[in-house]
Structure 1
Amino acid sequence: MMQRPFFTYHPAVQEAAQKALDLVKPALDRIDRVTEQNQQKVLAAFIDNRVSESHFAASTGYGYDDRGRDLLDRVFADALGAEDALVRTSFLSGTHTLGIALFGVLRPGDVMLSVTGLPYDTIHSVIGLRGEGQGSLKDFGVGYRQVDLMPDGSPDFDSIADALTSDVKMVYLQRSRGYSLRPTLSAKTIGEVAQFVKQRRPDVVVMLDNCYGEFVETVEPVELGVDLMAGSLIKNAGGGIAPTGGYIAGRSDLVELCSYRHTVPGVGREIGATLGHTRDLFMGLFHAPHVTGEALKTAAFAAALMQQLGYDVTPRPLEERYDIIQAIQLRDRDSLIAFCQGMQAGAPIDAFVTPEPWDMPGYDSQVIMAAGAFTLGASIELSADAPLREPWAVWMQGGLNFHSGKVGVMLAASHLMRALEKKAESSK
């Protein structure tokens, strides 16, 4: 029986896709092995903590004695290898969650030292690198310094040692690349930085922005010396099911301090109604290893496909991956826009919408985003975005399942190929 052709791909993309699948098979097999290990770890956390249906009950008002909320913290902590965790739908984004952790730990006169260069754009206002009088860390007397990565993207240990002055309270790392082409940091490398810092300053808090990195490897950075890490539940850790929220995980005393910033001192984690979302967060965590694996497969395929079509990609198809993001250098503004518009056309939601660059809050350049997602802004679902500036790269991530993710990537590439042909024809 002949299969119905649901989508029409550009012939060059159709041909390159099969070659890409053959090329990337070893990477897909490796991802499956990591996924299986992580799925067992999460399942064990559920079983060991005796999760039951009664823990899904909604709470209202103050949310005192919410058994499900409290157990969710414990299950998350165990799944991430941490002493403690704070998981809340009232963490509104990854940036909000990181901001709570920063304000929870840092005090006037402290210095935050970023050792992975300039953090992601939306954190700049939190630190006080831009904006005046908005209540940033800078407004509250917290200083900021940074050490850039080496040209190859590795930590500059000599400069870190020199920068560890007595006023440094926190060493901050960003695992993922943000809108740059530097490599993502592995858990091993992050652990080496943490140990290096602790050998020189045991009192310094090592904090990690772990967004996009959960369940990508079989070990999490808090198991290797990081004191505190945070991330979003509409990325890896929410499994495509959590409707919103974030988590903070790490040392118990630091998580407790963050809980006071989240609510108020003296109350902390003891209040906060869950309003019926607890089941979604438990279920999201349970699905997180598998969905993260599907996103990794989608990224590996995209790297192989776009490399076959002649584009530079990072990571390369067979490289080990330490987050779910795939960067593709598209060389010019029009190609960048065309790729994102093609990916939007392959989304389950709002496929009929044509994304355009716009002035997005928190960014210093216009940004284009393709994100036809069930949960608004959920980058564990297939999406692609980029600031409209050099090096004209797109950062693609997500994919709830590999089969639909593969279609989305092929449609994006096909739209790009047709746009290039149209441009070449019009220039004749």
Structure 2
Amino acid sequence: MKVIVLGSGVIGTASAYYLAQQGHEVTVIDRQPAAGLETSYANAGEVSPGYSAPWAAPGIPVKAMKWLLMRHSPLVIRPGVDPDMWRWVIQMLMNCTSARYETNKGRMVRLAEYSRDCLMELRDATGISYDHRTQGTLQLFRTQKQLDASASDIAVLDRYNVPYEVLDPAGCVRVEPALAHVREKFVGALRLPNDETGDCFKFTQQLAAMAEKAGVTFKYGVDIKRLLSDERKITGIRTSEGDLTADSYVLALGSYSPLLLRDIGIRIPVYPIKGYSITVPIHDPAFSPESTIMDETYKVAITRLGDRIRVGGTAEIAGYDLELRKARRETLEHSVCDLFPKGGDVAKAEFWCGLRPMTPDGTPVMGPTPYRNLFLNTGHGTLGWTMACGAGRVLSDLVTGKKPEIDTEGLFMDRYGKINRPIAVPQQVRA
């Protein structure tokens, strides 16, 4: 089967790789000159199935109001007249119940755990290298209230048999020795020992190279203008290089996916939430993190990537704005300098931002659509790197007409009700 994948970020590239492994003739189209140059370029570096959780959680509305008053706020809202923004915010608030949180987190953990297993299998089979470490994630709590509130997350981890440890300050220092120098700044942590770290951009570049060796064609520097369709199927892709056709099509354009879908009558609640990062050269390894520390107060992830520290965070709701704002850099610098004051040289840091494709319930939008040959792989939010291999593999199974190895309940676009025509799911996939 001939398949066109739209997008060469980590999700699109993983989709193309696994489709090629199933014997399909795959072409990837992207406007950038190489793979992984947008949201996959400088994310926080976490592969964190255990930390997979929706932003929509009980208590978030109250917390959000407090965050907006903080100098180093993890949340920034730039109000505008965009109805999609407010529709997305309202839908997210409607998911801030205990029942919805447990359902959504369960769906996310299911896919993320599978994806971590797929990544390990891929690494063992190919030897792919991307500054990865397998030393877990430390969710660091500065207050006892934060530590106590982790009980709800722990309950879901128990339900899905995800290993974890609750650590006191001494336990935190045992796994992250550099924290000994700031021991008075935290009360404990939740450690997820099976989580990993790695450079998503390096991974995407190497996976694209392996996909090319497997026969995938990458068409870079090509603008995607619109999807061409009749009532039942996609008939082609209109691009800056003319119309391209295939048997099946995969839409993996992250935050830009809904813009193409509107023209063919499909609405999905995926909205761009801007995140920022700084990449800091390590000054002294003894004062640097060993793996990933999630600073719960500021919602900032601090990750060791080889001889660099990646510091990522902030949720800025501002549409498709890509302006780099100084205040957001100051928040990232504050978190890393507070916990690892001698670890890196922040004056030499690379400052970056990207648009996370977020759904209001946290779960990505994958699989079939009302058009029988169009498939989605988008809406992974902050967890695109974590979910990439699993999402790519599930997607390739769905395109092929195979039943995926994990339950796909809640992953398809039809979970949002009747705002669209019924999706076309092959019988063998439902079986």
Q: Same fold (TM over 0.5)?
A: no
Structure with higher RCO (Cα < 8 A, 6+ apart): 2
Higher strand share: 2
What TM-score, normalized to structure 1?
Answer: 0.27
More helix by percentage: 1
**Whose radius of gyration is greater, 1 or 2?**
1
TM-score by length of 2: 0.26
